Amino acid sequence: MMTNEPRGNVDEERLRNDQPEDRTSRAMLDRNITENREMTDADRIEAFRMSSFQHVLPDLPKIPGYHTCWLTTTSQTDTVMFRMRIGYEPVTREDIPGWNYDKLSLKTGEYAGLIGINEMLAFKIKDNLYEAYMMENHHDAPNRQDEKLVQDVKQVQNQAKSSKTYVESSEGNDEIEKTLQERPKPKTFD
C-alpha cells in the first residue's frame, strides 16, 4: 500500500547541501598520474601550424598564365564581387580537364554552376596582375610605411630642434634609412 506521506528526514538528508564544496572522489585522489598533460611550447606551435593547414579544400591545378585560389563567399569586406572587379575570374570546366567537375560544382544558390566547396569558390587571376597585387601588398606598401616612419621621426627631431627642446631617439635611424634604400625588389610571388 502506497501513501503520499513525506518520508521526513530521509528526503531532507538526501537534499541537504551542507557537504564540503570539494567533491573529489577517493578514486580520483588515489589514481596514478601517468602522463604530463600540459602543452609544451613546441606542442602549441604545432597546434598553431595545423590550425592554418588546409584540411578540406583540394589544391587547385596549375592553369598556364594564371594564379588559382579559393575565395570565400562569407567575407563582408573581401567579397567575391570585389575580387571580380579587380580581375579575378571563376575557374571553369574547360580550365581543369580531368577534374570531377560535377562533384565540385555548386548546385544551388547565388553561385550555382561554379566550382566550389561549402562557402569557398575556385577562382583564377592572370599571373601579371597577381604579381602586381602581391608586389603592392607585400613589398611596396610596407616600404612606404617604413619610409613614412623614418620621415615622421625626422620631422619630430626637426621640430624639437626648432623649438630648442630635446627629443631622445633610439640609435639606428640611419641604419634603417640605409636598409630602406638598399632593399632589393622581390622577383616573384607564388
* Short-list 139, 140, 136, 129, CA closest to 69: 129
pLDDT per position as a tens digit, 111-165: 998 999 889 999 999 999 999 999 998 888 888 888 888 888 888 888 888 887 7
pLDDT per position as a tens digit, 100-114: 777 788 888 899 989
| CB atoms closer than 10 angstroms to residue 25 | 8
- For the cut 60, the answer to whether the pLDDT of residue 6 exceeds it is no
pLDDT per position as a tens digit, 41-98: 888 888 777 776 656 788 888 999 999 999 999 999 999 999 999 999 999 988 988 7
Torsion of CA 109, 112, 118, 124, to 10 degrees: -130
Tell if the pTM clears 0.75, that is, is over it: no
